[in-house]
Amino acid sequence: MSSLVEEMNAKAIALGVPIAAHLDLTYRCNERCVHCYLDHDDRGEMNHGEIRRLLEQMADAGVFMLALSGGEPLLREDFFPIVRRARQLQFNVKVKTNATLIEKREAAALCELGVANVQVSVYSHRAEVHDAITRVPGSFRRTIDAIRRLAAQGLKVTIADVLMRQNRLDYPGVQALARELGASFAIDPTITPHLNGDRSLLELNIARADLQAVMRDETIGGVAPQSCPPPSRAGAAEAVEVPCSAGHSFCYVSPTGDVYPCVQFPLLSGNVRSQSFLDIWRNSPELKEVRSIRERDLRVCSRCVHASGCSRCPGLAFMEGDMRGPSSADCEKSYARTGIAGAGMPDAANSGTAA
């Protein structure tokens, strides 16, 4: 995260402003990725009028950075009118997509609308591996063709690669492909449990030795940022002891209008169909509880050797049973990076201190 964004985030936390938000327009998707944590059924997603009202309420509340995603957001027939309205409201818009529905016309429209970044998921440089993960034959070819169209329009494209057992050795190839396509590259070695609480997806996580190789690979400059940006350690005093931006300067809204601290933090905090966005942001008891937590309240993490540099996600900790507890996935990443077992690792006593 750039120093300017860090400074903006720190000030937003101090002022209680939701400077960033993630809005999933639909859970419907034309792919069926093996690691996806979403339910793809349409359970009554917001209509166009409801989304327009939400965008206007977000703008009034101070949201500036807006990520539009899904599911596959381009499955909505009103996707481009939604983006157009978001840009009229001066949002800095990022689109997350599998890009399989982006032809020349769609790429030109995204450019015309001034979308800041398009994040596209690519799981391997080998078509057979990527297609096996998406479970859609031909998806790799359509995604890569779309990235070329986006780049030809001058749009900034980020290739996002989620690591799992099926593609654990392929990220250097994806990184090279990103360079060839003129895209930036981000890698995420964390598999998220299903939002319904099912943790079976975690079986896809890469082994500890593979995670160590990734976390120590200087060519990738670290791992991809989490859904919500971490607070700056050098920011405003009020932000320094905030464990995460979730619920402080960032939130997530589902296709049905449910509001959560983050897409990886399924603590239901209100619904914009029955309350205004700003009312939920200011008065939700759940968000107030999240905001009450400071680093010193993290019983395990506050005494951990990795406390100052860990990417601990309170949402993942919440899904493990305690939003004030450690996130085992982040404990593993800290250990993989340093070779030092942290306080939250269940096998810390037996894992040793050397890689």
State pLDDT tens for residues 300-350. 888 888 877 788 899 999 999 999 998 888 888 888 888 888 777 765 433
CA distance 262 to 247: 7
Please tell me the distance from the alpha carbon of residue 212 to that of residue 337, in angstroms, as a whole number. Answer: 6
- β-partners of residue 69 are 24
Indicate the pTM of the whole model: 0.90
Which residues have a Cβ under 8 Å from the Cβ of 49 and sit 6 or more positions away? none
The answer on pLDDT for 227 being more than 80 is no
Q: How far apart are CA 47 and CA 102, in angstroms?
A: 22
pLDDT at residue 65 is higher than 90: yes
Q: Please tell me the predicted confidence (pLDDT) of residue 221.
A: 55
Count of C-beta atoms within a 10 Å radius of residue 37: 17
Q: Which two tokens stand for residue 271?
A: 């619904």
* Order of strands, sheet of 20-24, starting from the edge strand that comes earlier in the sequence: 184-188, 157-162, 117-121, 92-97, 65-69, 20-24, 250-253, 259-260
Q: Are 26 and 261 in contact (CB under 8 A)?
A: no
The confidence score (pLDDT) of residue 139 equals 98
What average pLDDT does the segment 206-214 reach? 91
Average pLDDT over the chain, rounded to an integer: 89
Token pair 């905001």 is at which residue? 291
Contact of 312 with 329, CB cutoff 8 Å = no
- Cα separations (Å) of 323 from 194, 228, 267, 293? 17, 15, 10, 9
Above pLDDT 70, what percent of the chain?
A: 91
Among 199, 208, 229, 127, smallest CA distance to 170 is for: 127
Is the model's pLDDT at 165 over the cut of 90?
yes
Q: Which of 330, 324, 290, 325 is nearest to 306 (CA)?
A: 330
Higher per-residue confidence, 330 vs 136: 136
- Does residue 104 register a pLDDT over 90? yes
